[in-house]
Structure 1
Amino acid sequence: MVTRFAAIAAAGVLGLAMTACDASGGGGESGGDGESAAPATDIKVGLAYDIGGRGDKSFNDAAYRGLQQVQEELGIEDVQDLEPTEGESDADKVNRLTLMAEEGYNVVIGVGFAYEQPIREVAPEFPDVHFAIVDSEIDDIDNVTGLVFAEEQASFLAGAAAALKTEEDHIGFIGGVETPLIKKFEAGYIAGAQEINPDIEIETAYLSQPPDFSGFQDPARGKATAEGQYDAGADVIYHAAGASGNGVLESAAEQEKLFIGVDSDQYESAPEDQRSSVVTSALKGVDTAVFEYVKSVVDGDVQSGVQRFDLASGGVDYATSNPEQISDIQEELDGLKQRIIDGEIEIPTEP
């Protein structure tokens, strides 16, 4: 299998880089479709990464952790994770998904909204394959499940944290690409900050505009943009920019300012000399979503339609791994979190 994938990639048919997943290395409601449980040995899982690929210390790495959990806890050995290539088209994604389905991968997961149209094209051709997509609400194809998140809720807590930690009443937000999804992060962040201080000053910037998605994989541009916001007076920046956020963190550490990560706990992945700058991260349980979806296939109770992950289900949250930065504000953040869960705070999804 690996040999055939590599041969096709080398031939340039897909234009992709392939990585074999290394096993050493709260979900929504489930809708049964009447299938019997499948032995884990009969399940083959293919996962295709979003822009930036594995190693972004954020969105894609969260999906990879879910794939690792699938191997370790479900005993599924036959998995492959596929890297995107720079500047690839929807046709490349279609070919990638088609190849996995043709090669017998009966669970195929596209990581990121960029896979929506390719999955819509491929899934009907393979009705016996279970497809899932992260960050897209596909609910009109029987064998496709959408795994979506309340990013605005976690971002609200990130904004509150920034407003509680700033000494200048001046904070920043950097988005990778100005899409409706990333605007949800911005909207939640602004609302959370203004919940603490209605008069707070907030810098906002996007690294690229569609159809240019390079803003998710340009740490140098992320660093330069962060430097501009810090120079303008902001002392805490939250990013939703994928791998570009690594440059934002680098700038924060160099200028002895503060940083808030996204999707994964970026305190845990930060270099030792940058960790003290990380206040928290807005967590997005992509790993949980991937694992729970595959488990539903193994259990014969396949999640269907759109599965939503929010604060109440544990699908999003905020990180508490850096006690030096979070301990003095955690009680207030937990109070806000509970008010969101209880429905007392409504959070916008557009700025």
Structure 2
Amino acid sequence: MKKYLALTMAACMALSLAACGSSASSTTSSSAAASTEATSDSAATAEATGSDNITGIAQCCDVGTLDDESFNQGCWEAVKGYGDENGIEYNYYLPSGEDASDEDRETLIRQAVAEGANTIVCVGYLYGPALAWAATEYPDVHFIAVDVNGFDINSENGTIPENVFCVTFKEEEAGYLAGYAAVKDGFTKLGFLGGMAVPAVIRFGYGYVQGADAAAQELGINVQMNYYYGGQFYGDEKITAKMDGWYDGGTEVVFACGGGIWTSAAEAADKHDGKLIGVDVDQNYLALRVLSPASTRQTRLLPPP
């Protein structure tokens, strides 16, 4: 089971790429309750029929960096793995900064198409408006919209264009498991550090609080929770100082969710002998202070080191 959960993002992305190669338009939801065999068999079938139609893959990234140990990196590893396995060229395109506009995202898509991509992975719900334009502008290009739903693309009726494949997740389920496991493992002073308060990050946080509360009720104990959105997807001195205050005040473990913002929590945890719950990709190799990465894209509940 752990192996399947760790590969959820890659399997989901492989299925999406193959489905787009077969001109499919759909929405898939990834969760810990999905069937391993069904996912593997579906991916294999779609891949066998669709990969020949993909001549070039591009990833248009969310804000942040490609090596953010989070969502951009998780998607990129899946794109790279699929491209290498099938002999397909791939490339990535990054927004210019945290304040990238819809026009900036359209420019990335234009560049990807101009450089030969006929399958484009757009990461993050902010790509909704750009996809509404691109789906019509490039009807022969297949788009995989990761963390994007129909209402992000078409706010009036939620219609998904025929050449767009939406991939959404149940972040609240992974967040719930992370909070529940932390309390069951004996931690009673928890924190949630979110990046920007976007829908996916909010769902992670709400699930985390609910999971911690459920475990606390089962055990008949009180649990303290600090909760904060940093308003960005990267760590800095200000965020680190806030995490220093949390750990210094007794917080034992922080769920850091939102691109590279985890770096501030990790720095503070190292100073105060605290613990960290990561997200999106397996961060256990970074330090013994990582309790468990938690995500619908990649989930492992590991015992504390």
Place the TM-score, normalised by the shorter chain, in its bin.
0.7 to 0.9
Give 1:143 deviation, angstroms: 0.7
Contact 1:166 1:236 in 2 (8 A): no
Amino acid at match of 1:175: G
1:132, CA displacement in angstroms? 1.2
| Structure-2 separation of matches of 1:68 and 1:95 | 22
Residues 304-345 of structure 1 deviation map (CA, whole Å, 9 limit, x = unaligned)? xxxxxxxxxxxx53243xx553xxxxxxxxxxxxxxxxxxxx
Aligned mates of 2:206, 2:304 — CA distance in 1:
27
Work out the CA distance in 2 between the residues paired with 1:235 and 1:113.
32
State whether structure 2 residue 259 is matched by structure 1 residue 242: yes
Of 105, 110, 119, the residue aligned with 1:98 is: 110
| Structure 2 partner of 1:153 | 173
1:223 Cα deviation after fit = 1.9
Give the secondary structure class of the aligned counterpart of 2:294: strand
Size of the aligned set, in residue pairs, is 255
**Map of 2:130 onto structure 1:** 118
State whether residues 262 and 284 of structure 1, in contact with CA within 8 Å, keep that contact through their aligned partners in structure 2. no
Q: Which residue of 2 aligns with 1:23?
A: none
- What amino acid does structure 1 have at the position aligned with 2:194? G
Equivalent residue for 2:193? 174
Greater RCO, CA 8 A, separation 6+: 1
Quote the offset at 1:37 in angstroms. 4.2
- 5 Å matches for 1:41-52? 43-52=55-64
Is 1:230 the counterpart of 2:247 in the alignment? Answer: yes
Return 5+ residue gaps in structure 1 as ranges: 1-25, 209-214, 286-315, 326-351
User: After alignment, is 230-239 or 219-228 more displaced?
Assistant: 219-228
1:180 to 1:123, Cα distance in 2 relative to 1, 3 A: same
Contact conserved, 1:264 with 1:284, CA < 8 A, in 2? no
How big is each residue's C-alpha offset from its partner over 1:158-203, in whole Å with a ceiling of 9 and x where there is no partner?
A: 1012213345x21100110112221100111011111110331111
Equivalent position amino acid for 1:82 in 2: Y
- Seen in structure 2, the aligned counterparts of structure 1 residues 166 and 257 have a Cα distance that, compared at 3 Å, is farther
Distance 1:244 1:61 in 2: 14
Q: The residue matched to 2:299 in structure 1 has which SS?
A: strand
Contact conserved, 1:219 with 1:243, CA < 8 A, in 2? no
1:283 maps to 295
Kindly provide the CA deviation profile for residues 84-131 of structure 1, in whole angstroms up to 9, marking residues without a partner as x.
Answer: 211322111111112222443110111111211111111111111001
Alignment of 1:128 with 2:159, yes or no, is: no
Aligned residue number for residue 207 of structure 1: 230
The counterpart of 1:184, out of the listed 171, 195, 203, is 203
Q: Which moved more, 1:218-227 or 1:37-46?
A: 37-46
Identity among equivalent pairs (%): 27
